[in-house]
Structure 1
Amino acid sequence: MNQSELGQLLGYDKTYISLLELGKRSLDDIGSRRHIAETLRLPPHIVGVTDPADTDHRAMLQFGESTVRLAEIARQSGHASEAVAELWPLVARLEARMEDGYTERDVLHLLARARVGLGVALGNVLPEERLSTAARWTAKSIDIARYFGDPAFTSYVLRMHGNELRKARLHGAAVDRLQHAAAIAPHHEAKAAVLPLLARAVGTLRNQPLFDEVMRETNRLLEETEHTSLFNPYALHEIRLRGLMATGRTDIAIQLVEQGSPVPTTTVAPQWRVIELITVAQVRLAADDCGGAAQSLHTAIDEAVRQRLPHQLQRMVRASHRRLPEIREVADHALDRIRQEMAA
């Protein structure tokens, strides 16, 4: 719609419309603002008019922001199921608003974050055969992120989506998204959040040169960037072990396990403890240390059941295989119980 058409619709001269667009004139009276909102079918708060609907809008945004923030805290504290329960109705409500034509920037931004949060939480609580669902939810935020054109936010969305693609075993696509996320990361902190996930995804492709390159860059940033629940020596130790195993350097992985895990420098998410125990067990089995592997897996099973992590139980089933049949049986039974509870 050009200025002439807009002026005719609103009852204003084209020149006046031009002055408004250039910021040389302003609409200070409430009546004119209401007229524009009603004529263009905009929510009143878009043009700075407060009414009961606007109050509801602000309350919804405040509630939504709190929900997303608390859900992320719950997920990182080992309560991903509770995060899903909080985020699902919020996403449904925001999507319903969008379908009704409410596409304000703050609503879209909240929706994108809520979808990502829901996808990541689902990625914790769903079994492997359903992890593509988690990847689909994170993918729904990509177009919104690109619309905003904020490199930090786009990098965040691509990072989370790429990690869910990896878990869904779409390894090539995962590396592509994560490399893109790293490339557009606007500062060290954003890049540090991507690199551990990229290293893990590259490891699954058995790309030794790229894995080593990513780990070198990660180690460099470890000295320059504040540590987080993912970006810290403890978490990176597990990622390095898994990558070494995947790229055929089992002997180095065994040496690292014998040296022990680094002391955590920050709070580590509970699920990372489970992930690390399983990876260490895999390395111990490669070293023919069945007793040490069994001890790690026993602890991991208890934690995976408590946190409801079916994907990690499936990793344990594969890790124990024929060499630890009793462990495999316990993990299988625990997995069946979680599946039955999910189906109920």
Structure 2
Amino acid sequence: MSELPYRNGSDPSARPLARHVTWHWATPQAQAVLATRDLAAILRFHRRVHGQSQAEAAAILGYDKTYISALELQKRTITDVGSLRNVADRLALPPHVLGVTDPADTDHRAMLQFGQSTVRLAEIARQSGHASEAVTELWPLVARLEARAADGHTERDVLRLLAHARLSLGTALGNVLPEEHLSTAARWTAKSLDLVSHLAEAALTSTALRMHGNELRKAGLHGAAVDRLLRASTLTPNQAGRAAVLPLLARAAGALGNAELFDRTLREAQHLLQDAEHTSLFNPVALYEIRMRGLVATGRPRTAIREVECGAPTATTTVAPQWRVIELITVGRVRMLAGDARAAADLFDAATREATVQRLPHQLQRIIRASKDTLPETSDAALLALGQIRTEMAA
């Protein structure tokens, strides 16, 4: 078959309508169909998930209804490259699925490999205290992937990479944005969560819920944060996933003022320290900070004061730089509650210096709130640093 039997002899060049561009090709069922490279099966699947008749599918492809029927019954076939590429384009499929080698598809595969490396390196940069650099690297990748998805190419590997890139971007933005803009970070992680719902992968869904829940907490939406993090904890498939979600759930429960959930979650996290691998975010030092902040938030400042007097635990692994800033501020707040203004000022000043270097406006805002009534010089220094960061962001 060398020529397409277009209806009325015309070559319709318009791309598929937006209503036909869905996530269905990313589902596990679709992947099984696509793996066969059987055009008949692919056409039948396409019609089924879209609820289309053969006539409607014919209209999209520019064929007669009878030709669609013949293709599905395998009475006719398409072998020429141009025709197969047209079918792939109109069904929003990568050409290789239909056996067509396409330079654009080859470029796409290279982009996927590059994109995976970009996301990994961005995560390393963020956890090393360079969140702004992570944002710079992730913006163009997310834009390119979203453009491809919007163009109708919703292959599963594209969507999975886009989900990870959106999560990483949202989390990095959650580090570098001031409090009044933290909802932007939560929106990016929410976009990823909406996407992964179509992929039906428990581990990825748990990761998206966990990261989105933490950004919701930072944006002040504590009830929603607890909801997402509880769901993440039920979906996580292994010990490492649970170790990642429990500290964040404890944080959100404390911020919500739910002492019972906070205590229960933190106990489990502390117990898990004995068996799970320690990471830059799951370790005794991080859990110590979470406990201090949660005790204060749930109305138990005296307990927090007693535990601060006992000192912080010994680090068992490298702690993410931003967590060091967070700990300094939290312990400083507890020192303030204990009436030790001098020690609090020293802790806040150290946190201000580190937050300025790492460009962490949200943490500077925490310092300003904690010190403005009793430590005006400390508050003014943090306010000045925050102003400098705002100016740089606006440039």
Output the TM-score relative to the length of structure 2. Answer: 0.80
Quote how far apart the aligned CAs of 1:37 are. 4.2
Find 1:215's aligned residue among 241, 262, 266: 266
Instruction: Output one character per residue of 1:141-197: Cα deviation in whole Å (capped at 9) or x when no partner.
Output: 112211111111000001000000000001111111111111111111111111100
Q: Say whether the 8 Å CA contact 1:124–1:311 is kept in structure 2.
A: yes
% identity of equivalent residues: 63
After superposition, give the CA deviation of every residue in 1:270-311 in whole Å (9 maximum; x if it has no partner).
Answer: 000000000000000111111111111111111000000000
Alignment partner, residue 231 of structure 1: 282
Give the aligned residue type for 1:254: I
Structure 2: gaps (5+ residues)? 1-46, 58-64
- Which stretch shifts more, 225-234 or 125-134? 225-234
Q: CA deviation at 1:97?
A: 1.0
Contact (CA 8 Å) 1:125, 1:309: kept in 2 or not?
Answer: yes
Matched, 1:38 2:107: no
Offset of residue 54 of structure 1 = 1.8
**CA distance in structure 2 between the partners assigned to 1:61 and 1:45 by the alignment:** 15
Moved over 2 A (4+): 2-17, 30-43, 45-51
Q: Does 1:204 align with 2:255?
A: yes
Aligned residue type for 2:151: D
Contact 1:34/1:44 (8 A) holds in 2: no
Instruction: Give the equivalent residue in structure 1 for 2:213.
Output: 162
1:193 to 1:48, Cα distance in 2 relative to 1, 3 A: farther
- Match of 1:141, SS state, is helix
Task: Kindly provide the amino acid, as one letter, of the partner of residue 72 in structure 1.
Answer: E
Deviations 1:302-334 (A, max 9, x none): 100000000000000011122111100100110
Q: 1:24 — aligned with what? A: none
The alignment status of 1:114 with 2:165, answered yes or no, reads yes
Q: CA deviation at 1:247?
A: 1.1
CA contact (8 A) 2:325 2:355 kept: yes
1:340 and 2:388 aligned: no
Structure of larger gyration radius: 2
In the alignment, structure 1 segments of 5+ residues that lack a partner are 18-26
Amino acid aligned to 2:193? I
SS in 1 for 2:198: helix
**Residue 16 of structure 1: CA displacement?**
3.9
2:179 matched residue in structure 1: 128
**Secondary structure at the counterpart of residue 140 of structure 1:** helix
- With the length of structure 1 as denominator, give the TM-score of the two structures: 0.92
Q: Distance in 2 between matches of 1:177 and 1:192?
A: 16
Query: How far does residue 40 in structure 1 lie from its aligned partner after superposition?
Result: 4.2
Q: Cα deviation per residue 1:251-279 (whole Å; 9 max; x = unaligned)?
A: 11112111211111112110000000000
Q: Map of 1:3-42 to 2, 5 A cutoff?
A: 5=54, 8-9=66-67, 12=70, 14-16=72-74, 31=79, 35-41=83-89, 42=93
Report the CA distance between 1:228 and its aligned residue.
1.2
Separation in 2, partners of 1:40, 1:121? 36
- Which is worse superposed, 308-317 or 218-227? 218-227
Given candidates 211, 221, 224, the residue that maps to 1:173 is 224
1:10–1:39 contact (8 Å) kept in structure 2: no
1:239 is aligned with what amino acid?
I
What amino acid sits opposite 1:256 in the alignment? E
The SS at the match of 1:148 is coil
Give the aligned partner of residue 21 of structure 1.
Answer: none
Name the amino acid aligned to 1:70: L
Tell me how far 1:13 sits from its aligned partner. 5.3
